[in-house]
Amino acid sequence: MTTESKIQVAVIMGSKSDWDTMKNASEILREFGVPHECRVISAHRTPELLAEFIKNAEKRGLEVIIAGAGGAAHLAGVAAAHTILPVLGVPMESKLQGLDSLLSTVQMPAGIPVGTLAIGSAGARNAALFAIAILARQQPGLQEKLKAFRQEQKQKIMKETLPC
């Protein structure tokens, strides 16, 4: 097994119902060939598991944590409290359309940052792309893939036609 195949990113979420959104992160990571794992871990229902998982993640050599949660979304913030790894937060859509999830995730106090992405599936995709941008600092191969991805999405837009 090469170093590259070691798990590099953990995608965690507060509830299994978040998977529908968070699978978008997993799909992007798979598309870029980034070894990752996905887990349901709740800041409220499994607090010890969260602490343990995050501390182990750092020890196991993971590079980035992606955490998706909704409502009083504490998952990303509490994960960040347990590690110096970069933690990315994805606010779930919720009863208040994700405004509660967004504010609970992004308004962290000075000292413990969470890099927050957009509400919902766009945020999940972007969390994966942001994680890849971090990993790409050390993996030139990912830089090339990112550039190709950007180029491709540019081409796709440039080919769009409208029945104006």
Residue numbers 122-151 binding its own copies by CB under 8 A: 122, 125-127, 129-130, 133-134, 136-138, 143, 146-147, 150
Residue numbers 55-74 binding its own copies by CB under 8 A: 63, 70-74
- What distance in Å separates the CA atoms of residue 85 and residue 132, rounded to the nearest whole number? 14
Residue 1 or residue 110: which is nearer to its own copies going by CB? 110
Q: What is the DSSP letter of 65?
A: E
- Near its own copies by CB under 8 A: residue from 5, 102, 140, 141: 102
- Near its own copies by CB under 8 A: residue from 59, 93, 140, 141: 93
- What distance in Å separates the CA atoms of residue 61 and residue 54, rounded to the nearest whole number? 11
Tokens representing 113 are 């940052």
- What distance in Å separates the CA atoms of residue 68 and residue 101, rounded to the nearest whole number? 9
Nearest to 90 by CA among 142, 2, 19: 19
| Least spacing, CB of residue 126 vs its own copies, in Å | 3
Q: Does 7 interact with its own copies (rule: CB under 8 A)? A: no
Nearest to 66 by CA among 48, 49, 52, 54: 54
Site for its own copies (CB under 8 A): how many residues? 89
The CA R_g of the chain, rounded to the nearest whole Å, is 16
Q: In the block, which residue shows the tokens 């349901």?
A: 40
Residue numbers 71-90 binding its own copies by CB under 8 A: 71-74, 77-78, 80-82, 84-86, 88
Neighbour tally for 46: CB within 10 Å: 15
| Least spacing, CB of residue 120 vs its own copies, in Å | 6
Residue numbers 35-54 binding its own copies by CB under 8 A: 36-49, 51
| Least spacing, CB of residue 18 vs its own copies, in Å | 10
